[in-house]
Amino acid sequence: MPCRRRSGIGRRPHARRPSEEATTTMTTSAQQNHLVALFKAATVIPVLTIERIQDAVPLARALVAGGVRTLEVTLRTPVAIEAARAMMAEVPEAVVGIGTILSPADFTRVEKLGVKFGISPGLTPDLLKAAADSALPFAPGIATASELMMALAQGFDVAKFFPAEQAGGIKGLRALGGPFPNVRFCPTGGVGEANAATWLAEPNVVAVGGSWLCPTAEIRAGNWAGITAICQRTLKALKAA
Ligand SMILES: O=C[C@H](O)COP(=O)(O)O
Ligand SMILES: CC(=O)C(=O)O
């Protein structure tokens, strides 16, 4: 059974002429495929909480030096947007996205930035609508079947499973895979060096996210070499798994 795209059930029926719908469908499908490719290439996605703007560029450089290029800058601090801008300007090897998108207003701010993707820890009908009308590839967060059904109804078949360990762990993800075999996930929450490989071995997991690659203490200490080392160690272990 093919994945439901944004042209599937639940796609808002109003206002689009057939030619517009065809264009939107093609674009959306490409966006979803692009997001899957981006997540697969990333394998691990650090969830970044940046408290000081001056940390943004050295942090991005440290992660890239460790082989981790796809970065999720969360909107959890006042400097997040500026930090993402600085990373994009100064560290072109980084693939910068934004996380903790909680509202349509957040989404609007983010889509103007030129980042490569957006992520939310959850979803609301309004946020899904904003994302469905945007060209920015977006992964909503889900922890239950009902939330996943809401995401699918708007065409989003790539989701963050959050908080992954706390919301059922691998057993929970496998259970969701029964009724939703075509959904691809990026589990985040409780993922770390010890269990990343186990999560990534699941056939419906395209990447894992987490803060273990960029601990707050190391960022505060400016321990960039330490962050590079965590990334290198993680990627080496995943290669060997
Ligand atoms: O706030 C939680 C982060 O988004 C990811 O969770 P983590 O710290 O368990 O990796
Ligand atoms: C949990 C997460 O990844 C987010 O805040 O978007």
Tokens 């075999």 -> residue: 181
* Residue 47 Cα: closest atom of ligand 2: 3
188 beta partners: 209
CA dihedral sign, ordered 162, 42, 48, 231: positive
Please give the Cα distance from 234 to 212 (Å, whole number). 10
Instruction: Per-residue pLDDT tens, the chain, 241 aa: give them.
Output: 333 334 333 333 333 333 333 334 435 678 888 999 999 999 999 999 999 999 999 999 999 999 999 999 999 999 999 999 999 999 999 999 999 999 999 999 999 999 999 999 999 999 999 999 999 999 999 999 999 999 999 999 999 999 999 999 999 999 999 999 999 999 999 999 999 999 999 999 999 999 999 999 999 999 999 999 999 999 999 999 9
What is the predicted pLDDT for the residue at 70?
Answer: 98
Task: Tell how far the Cα of 227 is from the centroid of ligand 2, in angstroms.
Answer: 20
**Residue 100 CB less than 6 A away from ligand 1:** no
What is the predicted pLDDT for the residue at 27?
Answer: 57
Task: Tell how far the Cα of 194 is from the centroid of ligand 1, in angstroms.
Answer: 15
Instruction: State which H helix or E strand residue 237 sits in.
Output: helix 224-240
Residue nearest atom 1 of ligand 2, based on CA coordinates: 121
What is the predicted pLDDT for the residue at 29?
Answer: 74
Q: Which residues of 72-81 are buried (b: 16+ CB within 10 A; e: fewer)?
A: bbbbebebbb
Candidates 208, 171, 192; CA nearest to 72 is 208
What is the predicted pLDDT for the residue at 26?
Answer: 37
Instruction: State which H helix or E strand residue 36 sits in.
Output: helix 18-42
What is the predicted pLDDT for the residue at 13?
Answer: 33
48 beta partners: 73
User: Catalytic residue numbers?
Assistant: 72, 160
Residues 6 or more apart from 71 whose CB is under 8 A from it?
45, 46, 48, 60, 63, 87, 94, 95, 96, 97
What is the predicted pLDDT for the residue at 11?
Answer: 35
Here the ipTM equals: 0.94
Contact 184, 158 (CB under 8 A): yes
Helix segments in 112-215, DSSP class H: 125-132, 145-153, 169-177, 196-200
Please give the Cα distance from 36 to 45 (Å, whole number). 13
* Residue 119 Cα: closest atom of ligand 2: 6
